[in-house]
Structure 1
Amino acid sequence: MMNIAIAVAVILFAAAGYLAFMNSRLIADKKREAYIPPPASEYTVYMTPQFTREDERTLTPIGVMEYEDPQGPMKVYLCRTRHKAEDLKLEEAGDVFLSHLKAARDRGTLRFYRTVEEALQGQDEVRLTERLTAVAKKR
């Protein structure tokens, strides 16, 4: 009798595990179907010695580089804009930022480049920042 009870318990646990697995797959599928990609954003390349609180209200940096300028350290930010403006598309802004990055790297004045991981939205931004990281590492 005890063997039958153990067998029934094992079968019930196996069935419950299978149902939980199928339920999680259903939920994941529904989340994938409900995903709405973020709207196309505008981007800009912003050069400044210091990023201020005022800048934070309108710009979200996704990439930052610093180089040595004759007047002192200068930072260049690849930013997503938070306002309706006629700025650049991601690839255009990426190309402008890339030209600054290569110029500083080739002159030997590049101090660092870093990606702001927590600000990235979408695969296009991830791919662009990976490309920028690869260029910055070539010394």
Structure 2
Amino acid sequence: MLGVGIFLCLVMFTAAGYLTYRNSKLIAERQKEDFVPLPSTEYTVFIGKQKPDPELDGMLPLWVMSWESSDSITLAGLCRVTDGDQGDLRLEEAERVLSSHINKALQSGTYLSCEICNPSKLHEYEHSMAVRLSTAAGPNRSV
């Protein structure tokens, strides 16, 4: 009788150990699937007369603003570096730089417009940043 009790305890402990092992494997797989690493320095800010061409320049424009300069219209915007090189800014740093450009253009009265570029290619956090920048430019000013 004692031998049967010991055998049943061993079977129960073995089954509990196996179920615990399978549960921990399932949890680890789910956490691995849910993890999306944020890019570190994958962005750059450009300033120029025209938007960068993704195929030629290796930069995908995500958000662009324009203002009047002394001789023409100047553009500044956020680009994701796509040619395999690392950019020079993190997304938060790029947002601060562009916010500074917005403030300068608004204060000087030279601000013209802004736009979100390539919306289908933006990640959720990039789109949120573009909306924040457009809102900072003014509710009726963005194009």
The bucket for the TM-score relative to the shorter chain is: 0.5 to 0.7
Bigger-Rg structure (1/2)? 2
> Is the CA contact 1:61–1:119 (under 8 Å) kept in the aligned structure 2?
no
- Structure 1 SS opposite 2:115: strand
Distance in 2 between residues matched to 1:115 and 1:51, nearest whole Å: 12
Runs of 4+ in 1 over 3 A off after TM superposition: 33-39, 52-57
* Aligned match of 1:100: 101
Written as runs of structure 1 = structure 2, the 5 A alignment for 1:72-83 is: 72-82=72-82, 83=84
| Aligned 8 A contact 2:65 2:113 in 1 | yes
Structure 2 letter corresponding to 1:37:
V
Asked whether 1:120 is paired with 2:117, we answer no
RMSD of the alignment, in Å?
A: 2.7
Q: Deviations over 1:13-60 (max 9, x none)?
A: xxxxxxxxxxxxxxxxxxxx8566365151111001023547754101
* CA pair 86-63 structure 1, distance change in 2 beyond 3 A: closer
Q: 3-state DSSP class of the match of 2:88?
A: coil
Does residue 129 of structure 1 match 2:130?
Answer: yes
- Partner residue of 1:109? 110
For these two proteins, the number of residue pairs brought into alignment is: 108
Task: Give the gaps of 5 or more residues in structure 2.
Answer: 1-31
- TM-score, with structure 2 as normaliser: 0.64
Partner Cα separation in structure 2 for residue 71 and residue 35 of structure 1 = 50
Judged with a 3 Å threshold, the aligned counterparts in structure 2 of structure 1 residues 86 and 44 are, in CA distance, closer, same or farther, namely closer
Q: Contact 2:68 / 2:111 at 8 angstroms: preserved in 1?
A: yes
Counterparts of 2:34 and 2:81, CA distance in 1: 22
The amino acid of 2:43's aligned partner reads Y
1:42 matched to 2:3:
no
CA gap 1:34/1:85 in 2 versus in 1, 3 angstroms: closer
Q: In structure 2, what is the Cα distance between the partners aligned to 1:56 and 1:36?
A: 32
- Percent sequence identity over matched residues? 29
Q: For the residues of structure 2 that align with 1:54 and 1:129, how far apart are their CA atoms?
A: 18
